[in-house]
């Protein structure tokens, strides 16, 4: 009954969804392309059996890359389909995999669109990344006999309470999963309570997604070239740039500030914010040279560069109550990470980084800036934190092999 009501509401919202695609397409034109795929209509059918992975956006696309590569290597007779939802996610998938995989939009969660998607691709296995649990999609996969794995699964306490409020809708969806690979014991317990079966703890794929050596080298070269300490605001979200800039005040002359917004649609907005504060803005996309003011990181797929260029990184999404962004990338690059209070989407990775001494956590923007400036004045502590981060990542690798094994079990 709840799924029927859910479907009815989705159908009623279709005009708004289409209008939103058009609106977002002003800044990101990719949203206006291949809209028919959102309704389950695709081009030529694949010739070989298909293994399907869904990575909703940029973070999931990067996290899924080691598993996608492992599936390609293990299942040479199959084609790989990777679906996504956001324009930035689609661009990231193309940058990561080129033409070696099919990249498409996931259809909206309507029964007809799901049926057309499954009839076209006929996947032998479906892999959903992290928290992508869609009721009609999973019901359709069960009806078509497609085994489904929830990989790299995480479930915060806040999200679990939300799903529990719609138990009649969410419980059948979780029960339709053939297996779940959870990031931590806490995630596993919450997923079991929501109705998921065959839950095992396999760790976080993001520890296996190592940094690109060329971008690391380029970032280190950038830092040497400017001859100043580099403070990075990494993957910042709405409102956070203003909070951090207010706390920082005047940028010290011997510090280069780099700001990298999380979403491409905000690049121009953040550039205007910085300019309105009287700061000179050099844009990375325009080949902006380091100098007084701020370097705006308005490019995709270069977080390895930005982290390698930084002496200290303040992790976005954690200053405002948005759950945080991926601190593992900073640890892998050997860059000390300063976190705000809101890291609930990366709770286990945060706990591990804090315990290892690879990160510091502050109560608010002012505290984060104080910690960051203190670290900039303490090269020995930065070195120790950087080594701790790299050691942490090395110790927690291996999730790809464990989650690949779960995929192969479901295929059998």
Assess whether pLDDT exceeds 80 at residue 186: yes
Q: Given this model, what pLDDT does residue 267 score?
A: 93
Q: How far is CA 388 from CA 311, 330, 368, in A?
A: 15, 11, 20
User: Which H, E and C letters describe the chain, residue by residue?
Assistant: CHHHHHHHHHHHHHHHHHHHHHHHCCCCHHHHCCHHHHHCCCCCCCCCCEEEEECCCHHHHHHHHHHHHHHHHHCCCCEEEEEECCHHHHHHHHHHHCCCCEEEECCCCCHHHHHHHHHHHCEEEEEEECCCCCHHHHHHHHHHCCCEEEEEECCCHHHHHHHHHCHHHHHHHHHCCCEEEECCHHHHHHHHHCCCCCEEECCCHHHCCCCCHHHHHHHHHHHHHHCCEEEEEEEECCCHHHHHHHHHCCCCCCEEEEEEECCHHHHHHHHHHHHHCCCCEEEHHHCCCCCCCEEECCCCCCHHHHHHHCCEEEECCCCCCCCCCCCHHHHHCCCCEEECCCCHHHHHHHHHHHHHCCEEECCCHHHHHHHHHHHHCCHHHHHHHHHHHHHHHHHCCCHHHHHHHHHHHHHC
Structural domains in the chain, CATH included, are: 23-208+397-411 (3.40.50.11720), 213-395 (3.40.50.2000)
Sheet with 359-361, side-by-side order of all strands: 281-283, 294-296, 255-261, 229-236, 312-315, 337-339, 359-361
Residues 160, 190: contact at Cβ < 8 Å? yes
Judged by average pLDDT, the poorest of 6-15, 283-292, 368-377 is: 283-292
The pLDDT of residue 291: 65
- The answer to whether the beta carbons of residues 181 and 149 sit under 8 Å apart is yes
Q: Are 181 and 403 in contact (CB under 8 A)?
A: yes
CA-CA-CA-CA torsion for 8, 9, 15, 19, nearest 10 degrees? -150
- Asked if residue 336 lies in contact with residue 359, where contact means CB atoms within 8 angstroms, the answer is yes
- Cβ proximity of 82 and 54 under 8 Å: yes
pLDDT of residue 289: 62
Average pLDDT score over residue span 46-73: 94
Q: Give the residue, 131 or 125, on which the prediction is more confident.
A: 125
Catalytic positions, please? Answer: 60
Average pLDDT over residues 298-323: 94
Alpha carbon distance 95, 98 (integer Å) = 6
- Mean pLDDT over residues 114-141, rounded? 95
Q: What is the pLDDT of residue 264?
A: 87
As a whole number of angstroms, the distance between CA 59 and CA 203 comes to 16
Phi-psi region of 198 (alpha: psi -120 to 50; beta: other; left: phi over 0): left
Rounded to 5 degrees, what angle do the CA atoms 102, 106, 110 make? 145
What does pLDDT average to over the chain? 94
Using alpha carbons only, how large is the chain's radius of gyration in Å? 22
pLDDT per residue as tens digits for the range 333-353: 999 999 999 999 899 999 999
pLDDT band at 288 (very low <50, low <70, confident <90, very high): low
256 token code pair: 């280069």
Smallest Cα–Cα separation from 319: which of 212, 205, 236, 408? 236
Q: Which residues contact 16 (CB under 8 A, 6 or more apart)?
A: none
Beta bridge pairs of residue 102: 81
The CA–CA distances, whole Å, from 201 to 49, 107, 187, 243 equal 29, 29, 8, 37
The structure's pTM equals 0.86
């Amino acid at each position: 009954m709840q799924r029927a009501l859910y479907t009815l509401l989705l159908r009623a919202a279709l005009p708004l969804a289409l209008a939103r695609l058009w609106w977002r397409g002003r800044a990101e034109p990719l949203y206006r392309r291949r809209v028919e795929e959102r309704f389950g209509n695709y081009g030529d059918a694949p010739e070989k059996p298909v293994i399907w992975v869904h990575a909703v956006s940029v973070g999931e696309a990067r996290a899924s890359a080691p598993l996608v590569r492992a599936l390609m290597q293990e299942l040479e007779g199959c084609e790989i389909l990777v679906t996504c939802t956001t324009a930035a996610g689609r661009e990231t998938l193309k940058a990561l995999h080129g033409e070696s995989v099919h990249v498409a939009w996931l259809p909206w969660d309507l029964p007809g669109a799901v049926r057309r998607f499954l009839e076209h691709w006929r996947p032998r296995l479906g892999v959903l990344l992290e928290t992508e649990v869609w009721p009609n999609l999973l019901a359709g996969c069960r009806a078509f006999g497609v085994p489904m794995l929830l990989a790299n699964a995480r479930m915060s306490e806040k999200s679990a309470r939300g799903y529990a409020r719609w138990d009649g809708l969410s419980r059948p969806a979780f029960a339709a999963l053939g297996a779940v690979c959870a990031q931590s014991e806490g995630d596993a317990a919450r997923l079991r309570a929501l109705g998921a079966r065959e839950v095992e703890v396999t760790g976080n794929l993001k520890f296996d997604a190592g940094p690109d050596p060329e971008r690391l080298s380029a970032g280190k070269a950038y830092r040497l070239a400017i001859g100043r300490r580099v403070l990075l605001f990494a993957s910042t979200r709405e409102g956070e740039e203003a909070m951090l800039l207010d706390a920082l005040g005047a940028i010290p002359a011997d510090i280069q500030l780099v700001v990298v917004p999380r979403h491409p649609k905000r690049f121009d907005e953040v550039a205007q914010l910085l300019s309105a504060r009287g700061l000179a803005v050099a844009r990375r996309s325009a080949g902006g040279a380091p100098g007084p003011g701020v370097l705006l990181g308005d490019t995709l797929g270069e977080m390895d560069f930005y982290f390698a260029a930084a002496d200290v990184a303040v992790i976005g999404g954690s200053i405002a109550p948005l759950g945080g962004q991926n601190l593992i990338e900073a640890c892998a690059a050997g860059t000390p990470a300063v976190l705000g209070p809101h890291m609930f989407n990366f709770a286990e990775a945060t706990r591990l980084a804090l315990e290892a001494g690879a990160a510091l956590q502050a109560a608010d923007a002012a505290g984060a800036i104080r910690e960051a400036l203190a670290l900039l004045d303490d090269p020995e502590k930065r070195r120790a934190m950087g080594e701790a981060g790299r050691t942490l990542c090395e110790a927690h690798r291996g999730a790809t092999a464990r989650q690949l094994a779960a995929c192969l079990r479901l295929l059998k």
